[in-house]
Structures are given as structure tokens and as C-alpha cells.
Structure 1
Amino acid sequence: MFARVLGSAAGGGSPQWNCHCAVCGSVRAGAGHPRTQSSMAVSLDRREWFLFNASPDVHRQIDGLTVNAVLLTDAELDHTLGLLILREGRELVLYATPAIVTTLRDGSGLLPLLERYCTVDWRPVDFGVAIELTPGLTCEAFDVPTTKKDRFGVTVSDGRVVGYRITDQHTGGTLVYLPGAQELPDIGPCDCLMLDGSFFRDDELSATRTARDMGHIPIEDSLPRLGDQKRHARRTIFVHINNTNPILLDDTPERRVVEANGMEVAMDGLEVQL
């Protein structure tokens, strides 16, 4: 199985167009690499790909790739606006929980708009039920509980945010993709964990707008817990990194802390073979 990070930044990318924070300024000056918005794809043969989230930058991220289906981890705009860009296909195969689809239909209204342009083959995602994406490649979703504000006013509970465990049945390689998590769930052993790295500190934005309020566990809290053997991953890579996070820069104390703990910071185009 090949897993490719298509976009490693959070919503808005890095640098964010309207942001003049120290991190964005440093990235513009060349102290860090520009990044597009969060997305990942997996393939058994590098010919046919399965896309996890469809960011607004999807047209650049998948240029030349054959996308068989899209799997969603939530209904946030930075993970779903790219669905509209994929409307050129005759049919879009979409894996999502009923909660996510309800939000897309009754909240953001994105799904009814998309259906005016192309056929959407929605395949419901149920927890504990394996999905065969293609012979030899399976995945299973797990719930990621969250108390973050429902910005669209749709009353849904379980399945608002999910993670995926993806398995190559030929090699036994396992990847857990978890770009959004308010707390670190018990993911069990895996070969590679792509984990929410949105913020380094809980108060990174302000004292009143915390990382957890926005549905993200700060790295300074997740790092100690990643040492728990029940959550052990052979390789841990932080993804969905907010434009304010100092780990985006090549030489900062926060970046050195991550690397000293044996973790990695994703870049666009990073490919892992499992």
C-alpha cells in the first residue's frame, strides 16, 4: 500500500493568504515549505487512488491521478469543498457516515449542489464494518467523539468526526488516518499514524479560542500519550497543521521537540509504503 500526503496544512493552507502571523511571514520568507490543505490518498498500485477528504486545493493535489472514491473524516469545508471541483466526473463515489451526510445535505447544502452536477453514489460508513475499497485494500472507520461547535446547526452526534484504519491485506501493513481529534482515542498498534497536528499549544490562537474548542488536541498534550504502548505506532506523522503552528518552520524549538520524540512533520507529497 502506498499512502501519499496530498495536503499537510489545515484550512487555509500555509501560508494563509490573509494571515500576517510570525509563522506565515517566515514561510513566505523561505524558512518553511508552503503547504496545501489537508488530504491524503492511498493506492495499491499507484494507478488507482482512494482520496481521504477533498480539500479546496484538490485540483492541484490529484492532477494526473485516477480517483476511485472519496472518504470523508468530517463535513468541514476544508475537507469537502473539493467535492465540487470533482463534479466533472460522471459519478462520484462517496464514503461517509450518516452524520456527515446529514450535515452536507441539511447544513452546508454542499451535497444537493453537487448532485446538480454529477451523480453521487453515497456509501454509508458504519463503525466496526470493514470496507473493501478494492481487492486487497480495506479500511474501517472509528468514531472520534467531539464537543466542538456545530457551525451548521444540524443536530447530529456519533459520526461527526471519524478516523480510518486502512489495511493492505497482502502485506498486513496498517495506516491510521486521524486528521482531526479533540482527544487521542485508543487506536491500537499500527505501522503508521497520520495524526492531527493542528496546534502545538492549546492557547496558540488566543486564551479564549483554544485548540480543543476547535476540536483539536494540541501536540504538547498528544506527545506524552503517544508513548502509551496501547497507542503505539511504528511511525507517527503530524498532518492538518494550522498556519500558526511553529512546527511548520524548519528550525524552531517546537519542531525540535517533535523530532526529539521520534515524530515527523508532514510535507505535501510525502509518500509512505506499507
Structure 2
Amino acid sequence: MWVRVLGSAAGGGSPQWNCGCEVCVNVRSGAAPPRTQSSIVVSPDRQRWFLFNASPDVLTQFASFPPLQPRSARESPVEAVFLTDAELDHTMGLLLLREAESIRLHATPAVHKTLCDGSGLLTLLERYCQVEWTPVVAGAVQSLTEGLTCSAFEVETSKRDRFGVGAGPGRVVGYRLHDANTGGTLVYLPGVQQLTPQIREQIESCTCLLIDGTCFRDDELVRLGLAAKTSRQMGHTPVEENLDLLGRRSGRTVFVHLNNTNPILLEGTPERLAVEQNRLEVAVDGLEMEV
């Protein structure tokens, strides 16, 4: 399967429009590449594509990648959208796709309920186009194309539900995709609070892992005076706590969903060197992989 990282940053992108932290200053000066908000596409043949999370930057991301551009008057190579959660940085892009005749949306019942009864995003979208919702059930294997399958797995979180309507199982999931033709397995996990034994089982043997790299340290935002919550309180496991564990994996591991404050965005920092010394990678927009 082919995988392209459309957006590698967390909510707000990098640089974030209202942030003057050291990393954002460096990105604005050209010392590091800018990054759009988190999403990927997956394809079995570079003709049919599946979008995982629809970020607010989705139109820019589509425009920068010719295989996602229309091949006729009204058409899109993107066959369906899969959501890992109901966060705005993963769902606002759906509204920007409203010119479609219909959108095939895969999301858990909890995420779907939040988007309908909480944020109201899907209720608004359905006034413009048809939304064909397929419920995502953790553990159920779905065939996307011949030879390419996808299954979701539960990601436990204690993060407060902003809307309070989609509480319970399914608020956050990861996805595991398997290509029967190559034997390759991709795990997409842009949001995870803790690498529990259940999560470790999902990521241990996969060929390629795209994993939450939001903050390097748990108190990163607190230390900078930019927030009162730690990384884990916001639903994200700190990178530094998992370097050894992830470094022992045999497959390729790439950090995605990178917050604009994370020092691993800058080459040569001690934090970036620690990542590289463990044979781990930091995603950039446009990164492509064959799994």
C-alpha cells in the first residue's frame, strides 16, 4: 500500500498563527519546514485513496498532491474518509468537502454522535451534501479493496469530552491496515494517551507505525507558560517516555501530530537527536511510504 502524510502537525499547524515560541520563530525564519494539520491518505494502487482524518487544511493538502486532484468534471479519487476521533483538527475539513455529491464517512458511533449532537458539524454538512455513515466497530475487519483491509482498535482516554454526548467506548481509535499482497501492515495512531499493553500489542509487529508525537515532554506547554494542562491530560503520551520502547521495534516508526512547540521539529536539538539515535523519524508534510 502507498501512504502519504498530508499533514504532520497537531491542531493549529506549525507555525501556529498566534504563537511566538522558539520553534514557531524558527519555522517562520525558514530554519524548519512549515507543517499543516494532521491527516494521511492510503492507497492500494495510487488511483483509489482513503483519507484518514479531514483537517482544516484539507484543500491545501489535496492541491499539493496531484493524485488527489479530479480526473473529470466532478470527481475525486478519495473514496472514503476515516476518523480517529471528533477533534476539530481532524474533522473541520469535512465542511470544506461539502461540494461533493456524497461523502462516505467511517466513524465510531461515539464520534458520529459527537459530530451530530455535540459540535453539530455533521448536521451542518448534511445540509450541503449526503453523508453515508458506516459505523466503525473496534476489532471488526473491513475490506477496502481487494487485498487491503482495515480494522480499528480502541484507544482509552481520560481526556474530558468537550461536548459530553459521545462519552464511552469509541471516543478515540487507531487504525490497522493490512496489505495481503505485500504482507505489510500500517498502524495509524495520531492520538494516544498511554501505551497500554493493549496498544503495545497493536503496534509491536506492524511494518510501519505513524504515532502520536504531540509533545516531547509531559509538561512542555506548562513549562512554556502556554497552557495549564500537561500533554497526557490533553490525551497525548509524551515522546520522551516512549523512545526506548519504540526504538526496539523492528519496523519503521514515524512521529506525526506534532505540536508547534515540540523541539523535535528542529534539526540538531538534543530532543531531535534523541529521537534519531533510537532510529525513529519525525514526519514532514508530503512524506510518502510504500508498505
With the shorter chain as reference, the TM-score category is over 0.9
In the TM superposition, residue 154 of structure 1 has moved relative to its aligned partner by 1.8
CA distance in 1, matches of 2:250, 2:233: 26
- 1:237 aligned residue: 254
Query: Once the two structures are superposed, what CA deviation does each residue of 1:142-169 show, in whole Å capped at 9, x if it has no partner?
Result: 0000000111122511110000001111
Aligned: 1:80 with 2:55: no
- 2:42 aligned residue: 42
Alignment partner of 2:170 out of 142, 156, 159? 159
Residue identity (%): 63
- Number of positions where the alignment pairs a residue of Structure 1 with one of Structure 2: 271
- Contact 1:9–1:38 (CA under 8 A) maintained in structure 2: yes
CA distance in 1, matches of 2:53, 2:191: 12
Alignment partner of 2:182 out of 168, 171, 174? 171
AA of the residue aligned to 2:253? T
TM-score by length of 1: 0.96
In the TM superposition, residue 108 of structure 1 has moved relative to its aligned partner by 0.5
In the TM superposition, residue 219 of structure 1 has moved relative to its aligned partner by 0.2
Within 5 A, what are the aligned runs for 1:87-126?
A: 87-126=98-137
AA of the residue aligned to 2:5? V
- 2:234 aligned residue: 214
- Contact 2:154–2:169 (CA under 8 A) maintained in structure 1: yes
CA distance in 2, matches of 1:98, 1:154: 11
Alignment partner of 1:195 out of 211, 221, 231? 211
Alignment partner of 1:143 out of 146, 151, 154? 154
Query: Once the two structures are superposed, what CA deviation does each residue of 1:192-225 show, in whole Å capped at 9, x if it has no partner?
Result: 0000000000000006410001000000112123
CA distance in 2, matches of 1:95, 1:131: 11
Alignment partner of 1:225 out of 227, 233, 245? 245
CA distance in 1, matches of 2:235, 2:186: 22
- Contact 1:193–1:233 (CA under 8 A) maintained in structure 2: no
For structure 2, the residue ranges without an aligned partner over 5 or more in a row are: 69-76
In the TM superposition, residue 262 of structure 1 has moved relative to its aligned partner by 0.3
SS of the residue 2:97 aligns to: helix
For structure 1, the residue ranges without an aligned partner over 5 or more in a row are: none
CA distance in 2, matches of 1:155, 1:45: 35
CA distance in 2, matches of 1:115, 1:13: 27
SS of the residue 2:264 aligns to: helix
Q: Which moved more, 1:258-267 or 1:201-210?
A: 201-210
TM-score by length of 2: 0.91
CA distance in 1, matches of 2:30, 2:268: 12
Q: Which moved more, 1:98-107 or 1:55-64?
A: 55-64
The structure-2 alpha-carbon separation of the partners of 1:233 and 1:215, relative to structure 1 and needing over 3 Å to count, comes to farther
In the TM superposition, residue 132 of structure 1 has moved relative to its aligned partner by 1.1
SS of the residue 2:222 aligns to: coil
Query: Once the two structures are superposed, what CA deviation does each residue of 1:66-124 show, in whole Å capped at 9, x if it has no partner?
Result: 11000000000000000001111101000000010011011100010010110000001
Within 5 A, what are the aligned runs for 1:57-72?
A: 57-63=57-63, 64=66, 65=68, 66-72=77-83
- Contact 2:36–2:285 (CA under 8 A) maintained in structure 1: yes
SS of the residue 1:226 aligns to: helix
- Contact 2:221–2:229 (CA under 8 A) maintained in structure 1: yes
CA distance in 2, matches of 1:155, 1:101: 8
Query: Once the two structures are superposed, what CA deviation does each residue of 1:203-248 show, in whole Å capped at 9, x if it has no partner?
Result: 00006410001000000112123256xxx35100000000000111
AA of the residue aligned to 1:221? E
- 1:12 aligned residue: 12
